[in-house]
Each structure stands twice: as C-alpha cells, then as structure tokens.
Amino acid sequence: MKNFIDKVIVEPLREVVRNLVAFLPYLLTGIVVFAIGLGLAWLIKALVVKIFKLLKLDAACAHSGLADALKKMAVRDTPAKLIGRTFYWLVTFIFFILALKVMKVPVIDQLLEKFLLYLPNVFVALIILIIGWLLGNFLGRAALIASVNAGVRLSSQLSKGVKGLIMLFAFVMAFEQLGIGRSTVIAAFTIALGGIVLALALAFGLGGKDLARGFLEKRFKKNGDGEPDELKHL
C-alpha cells in the first residue's frame, strides 16, 4: 500500500516540487525582466512626453486641428501624452515577450513562436485599417464638398456612403490578411456589394424614373425651363 501511495501521490508531488524548484529561478528572472521592463517603460514614457512637450507638439497639434480631431474620437490625452503612452505599451509588450522567453516553458515557447509569426499579419491588418480610415475620411470629405457644390441634395448620405464603402473594403482586406473566415468574408462582401448595386439600380429604375427623366431633360435639353445665370464670376 505504501508503495502504491509513493508511486501515485508522493513521487508525482516530488516531481512537481522538483520542477517547480527548477522553474523558480526562471520565473524569478522572468518577473525581474518584466519589472525592469515596466520601470523602463515608465521612464521612456516620461522622457518621450517631456521631449514632445519641449518640441511644442501639443501646441502644433492644436494649431493644425489634430487635437480637435482626437477629442472627437474620444481620445482624452494630449498628443504628447498619447505618443508617450504608446511608447510605454510598446516597451512593456517587448519586455513581456522577453520575460516569457526567459521562463523557457516549452508550451509558452511554442505559443510565443506562433504568436510572433502571426504578429506581422496583425501589424499589416492594423495598417490597412488605418489607411482605410484616413482614405475614407479624405474621400468622404471630398465627395461631400464636391456634391454640395454640385447642388446634390443627398450630399451628406453620399459622403457617408463613400466613407462606409472604403471602410468596408479596408475591413475585408484586414480580415483576409488575418486569415479570419477568408472565404466567408469575401463571399459576404461580394453578396453585400452586389445587393447594394442591385438595390440602387432598382431604386433608380423604379422609384426614380421621373427624377431620372427630369435630370436627363435638364442636362441635355438646351432651352430648358431654368435659365442659366448670366452672371460672370471672373
């Protein structure tokens, strides 16, 4: 019976303790590395904030309207603090990875390896989303101004549509990059886009046939009802 207890309980417990004891230095090293990382991250954050404050980044951003744009996106930090915070999390993340690495746990090593190999995809997807957001804003605004100047009544909706479509493209590309539901996302996107085009075609064809006729008449009839302005701007 004693042999049985030794074999089933004591030996495995001893093994666990042995492993724990063997692992403890690595764990401690990991904790120390991470603690150093946290300290360093805090220092770097403080330094970066100070440098950017000295460079008057906040004033420049207020000047250019970027600070207002950040506020509108519910970002409460000043631009200098935001950059400092980004550096803080970057350094923290790097030291977290280092800490996991020095612990030398095979499973974590394998997970880490997979994660690190996947990381570029996340980075590229993030860049795609940022570019999509910037492009969507830019083209949405351009469409808004152009349609207002052309006297289009649904300018605001048109602008939102342009921005939404670009963001949709960006999301599809980002998901494809991440390999999430690749075929499903593309199929859903194709169906959605096809649906939108069909809906628009039906809406214009059926609902707006009189409007379309009126538009074409105005556009191509030389002596239409509305006399053109004789006022010369230049």
Partner 1 sequence: MTETAPDTAANSPDPSAGLDAVDILVGVPSFNNAKTIGHVVRAVEAGLTKYFPDRRSVLVNSDGGSTDGTADVVREASVDLDAVLLDHRVGGFRKLVTPYHGIPGKGSAFRTVFEIARQLGAKACAVVDADLRSITPEWIELLIKPVLEEGYDYVAPYYMRHKYDGTITNTIVYPLTRALYGKRIRQPIGGDFGFSGKLASFFLGKDVWESDVARFGIDIWMTTSAIANGFKICQAFLGAKIHDAKDPGADLSAMLHQVVGSVFGLMEEYAPTWRSVEGSEPVATFGFVYSVGLEPIHVNLEKMIEMFRMGVRDLDAFYNSFLPGDTLGFLRALAAQRDVKTFAYPDREWVRTVMSFALACHRKAVRREHIIKSLTPLYLGKVASFVIENWDCTADEVERRLEELCLAFEKGKGYLVERWDGEV
Token pair belonging to 35: 């603690």
Handedness of CA 7, 10, 13, 14 (dihedral sign): negative
Residue 3 or 223: which CB sits closer to partner 1? 223
Single out the residue of 18, 63, 71, 209 in contact with partner 1 (rule: CB under 8 A).
63
The least distance separating partner 1 from the CB of residue 127, rounded to whole angstroms, comes to: 21
Q: What is the DSSP string of 203-219?
A: IIIIITHHHHHHHHHHH
Which long-range contacts (C-beta less than 8 Å, at least 24 apart) are formed by 90-97? Answer: 90/41, 91/37, 91/40, 91/41, 91/44, 91/45, 92/37, 92/38, 92/41, 94/37, 95/33, 95/34, 95/36, 95/37, 95/38, 95/40, 95/41, 96/34, 96/37
Q: Is 141 in the site for partner 1 (CB under 8 A)?
A: yes
Does 202 bind partner 1 (CB under 8 A)? Our answer is no
Residue 153 vs 221, nearer CB to partner 1: 153
Q: Is 74 in the site for partner 1 (CB under 8 A)?
A: no
Binding string, residues 146-185; x marks residues near partner 1 by CB under 8 A: x-xx-x-x-xx--x--------------------------
Q: Applying CB under 8 A, does 106 fall inside the site for partner 1?
A: no
Which residues are near partner 1 by CB under 8 A? Answer: 59, 62-65, 68-69, 138, 141-142, 144-146, 148-149, 151, 153, 155-156, 159, 226-234
